[in-house]
């Protein structure tokens, strides 16, 4: 009883503390109620959980663009929509007009860089004009490459609702378009090739594929120094000793003006490389055999050549070249190129 009295006595310290506690609880619950109401009003988007495949590192994300299911869905609609380009320099094209899913989001016979595992990329375009996260290059694609006119999206009738769901606003801006596209492209993950299945112990590789793999990952072929890790790219730039045919072959030098960048290009990831019909920044090689022949005996030695390639010719035999090619073909991912989550949403 005495204790009770003490607690309720307005002059005791204990009671003051209790009052403070009750007050802060009231404030807290008020805040909570307000927060709930606010998110309800904004039709909150649902958080997308990015599943990192076994053996892959953390993806490169933008804290200002958290991924949501609604944001990804919107990005997919935009990616396949020709209205994105109406009136601009690429009028009538959608992103998907040059980045075809069935070929790994590229055009096989052109130098279109594929959209595959770009969630892990930090450098974009052959010469690396853009660095950072996908959001950076998407801003360029939207503003400069496509010169997106928002009015054409509004005219579609359904976008304002979609932007509201994804970003909580019906105000369509180029920044939000770029964010939605970045979210969608970040989901384009390829991790189900025969090679992946082999690393997970699900399938066997043929003897030839295994020999090719050993060559790829050992000093003999020495491909892994630049095409190592789960993405098959080191995310860097190299001069691989191609013969200079045009000004364009100056590569990254054209961006930085630094002499050590002469002839350096982004190392492309090699997943789905077997679906391509032209290779390198200018599509100069038409078959994988020609590419391997280049590394085997075609490397041009100049002061700009990457030190990793400044060595005697590999001296691979015809059958070793076939083995290496067989291994590269195991990087084709049939699930990636037919995944319905990535396909044209206007053609169910
Ligand atoms: C007319 C064909 C064409 C269209 C349409 C097109 N692209 Fe591309 N895309 C290319 C080519 C070619 C490259 C490589 C160019 C370079 O590196 O200089 C490329 C490269 C890229 C890259 C860099 C990939 C990497 O590995 O660095 C991204 C990202 C990209 N495109 C996104 C888009 C988006 C988003 C759209 C739609 C807004 C789009 N593209 C529409 C042809 C196209
Ligand atoms: C010093 C780094 C380096 C090494 C080592 C290297 N590559 Fe490359 N690879 C690159 C770069 C950079 C490119 C793009 C060059 C360009 O377009 O000018 C490339 C391009 C390719 C391409 C064409 C991909 C496409 O989409 O066009 C294939 C295939 C390839 N390399 C396979 C190999 C194989 C096989 C080996 C081992 C025999 C190897 N690479 C060793 C850096 C390297």
Task: Decide: 146 in ligand 1 pocket, CB within 6 A.
Answer: yes
Calculate ∠ Cα 229-326-324, nearest 5°.
65
Task: Decide: 265 in ligand 1 pocket, CB within 6 A.
Answer: no
User: Cβ-count burial of 20 within 10 angstroms (0-12 exposed, 13-18 middle, 19+ buried)?
Assistant: exposed
What distance in angstroms lies between residue 237's CA and the mean position of ligand 2's atoms?
10
Mean pLDDT along residues 263-281: 98
- Ligand 1 atom closest to residue 268's alpha carbon, by position in its atom list: 26
Question: Cβ neighbours of residue 253 under 8 Å, at least 6 residues apart?
Answer: 259, 261, 262, 263, 264
d(CA 319, CA 88): 50
d(CA 139, CA 131): 12
247-269 pLDDT, tens per residue? Answer: 999 999 999 999 999 999 999 99
Task: Decide: 299 in ligand 2 pocket, CB within 6 A.
Answer: no
8 Å CB contact between 204 and 101: no
Pick 12 or 281 by higher pLDDT. 281
What distance in angstroms lies between residue 111's CA and the mean position of ligand 1's atoms?
10
pTM score of the predicted model = 0.89
Task: Decide: 135 in ligand 1 pocket, CB within 6 A.
Answer: no
Task: Decide: 182 in ligand 1 pocket, CB within 6 A.
Answer: no
Domain 69-190+335-342 of CATH type 1.10.760.10: yes
Question: Cβ neighbours of residue 170 under 8 Å, at least 6 residues apart?
Answer: 160, 161, 163, 164
Residue closest via CA to ligand 1's atom 33 equals 95
Mean pLDDT along residues 292-304: 97
8 Å CB contact between 262 and 304: yes
Mean pLDDT along residues 306-321: 96
8 Å CB contact between 156 and 169: no
- pLDDT value for 348: 74
| Residue 294 tokens, joined | 């280049």
Rounded to the nearest 5°, which phi and psi values hold at 302? -130, 175
What distance in angstroms lies between residue 112's CA and the mean position of ligand 1's atoms?
6
151-199 pLDDT, tens per residue? Answer: 999 999 999 999 999 999 999 999 999 999 999 999 999 999 999 999 9
Task: Decide: 321 in ligand 2 pocket, CB within 6 A.
Answer: no
Ranges of each domain in the chain: 69-190+335-342, 194-329
- Ligand 2 atom closest to residue 308's alpha carbon, by position in its atom list: 1
CATH of domain 194-329: 1.10.760.10
End-to-end CA distance of the chain: 74
CA-to-CA separations, 156 to 50, 180, 327, in angstroms, rounded: 30, 17, 46
């Amino acid at each position: 009883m005495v204790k009770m009295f003490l607690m309720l006595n307005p002059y005791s310290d204990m009671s003051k503390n209790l009052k403070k506690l009750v007050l802060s609880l009231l404030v807290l619950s008020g805040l909570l109620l307000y927060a709930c109401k606010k998110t309800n009003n904004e039709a909150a988007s649902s958080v997308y959980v990015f599943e990192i495949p076994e053996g892959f590192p953390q993806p490169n994300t933008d804290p200002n663009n958290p991924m949501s299911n609604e944001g990804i869905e919107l990005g997919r609609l935009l990616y396949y929509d020709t209205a994105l380009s109406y009136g601009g320099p690429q009028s009538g094209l959608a992103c998907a007009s040059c980045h075809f899913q069935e070929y790994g989001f590229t055009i096989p016979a052109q130098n279109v860089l594929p959209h595959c595992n770009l969630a892990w990329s930090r450098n974009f375009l052959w010469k690396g004009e853009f660095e950072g996260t996908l959001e950076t290059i998407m801003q360029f694609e939207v503003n400069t490459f496509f010169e997106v006119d928002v009015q054409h999206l509004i005219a579609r009738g359904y976008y304002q609702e979609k932007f509201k769901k994804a970003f909580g606003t019906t105000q369509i801006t180029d920044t939000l378009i770029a964010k939605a596209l970045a979210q969608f492209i970040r989901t384009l993950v390829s991790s189900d090739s025969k090679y992946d299945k082999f690393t997970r112990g699900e399938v066997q590789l043929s003897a030839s594929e295994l020999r090719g793999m050993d060559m790829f990952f050992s000093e003999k072929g020495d491909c892994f120094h630049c095409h190592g890790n789960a993405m098959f790219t080191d995310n860097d730039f190299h001069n691989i000793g191609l013969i200079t045919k045009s000004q364009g072959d100056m590569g990254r030098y054209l961006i930085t003006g630094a002499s050590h960048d002469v002839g350096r290009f982004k190392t492309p990831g090699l997943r789905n490389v077997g679906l391509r019909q032209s290779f390198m920044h200018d599509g100069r090689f038409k078959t994988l055999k020609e590419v391997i022949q280049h590394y085997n005996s075609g490397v041009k030695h100049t002061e700009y050549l990457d030190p990793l390639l400044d060595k005697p010719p590999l001296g691979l035999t015809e059958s070793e070249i076939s083995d290496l090619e067989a291994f590269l073909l195991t990087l084709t991912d049939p699930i990636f190129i037919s995944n319905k989550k990535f396909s044209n949403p206007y053609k169910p």
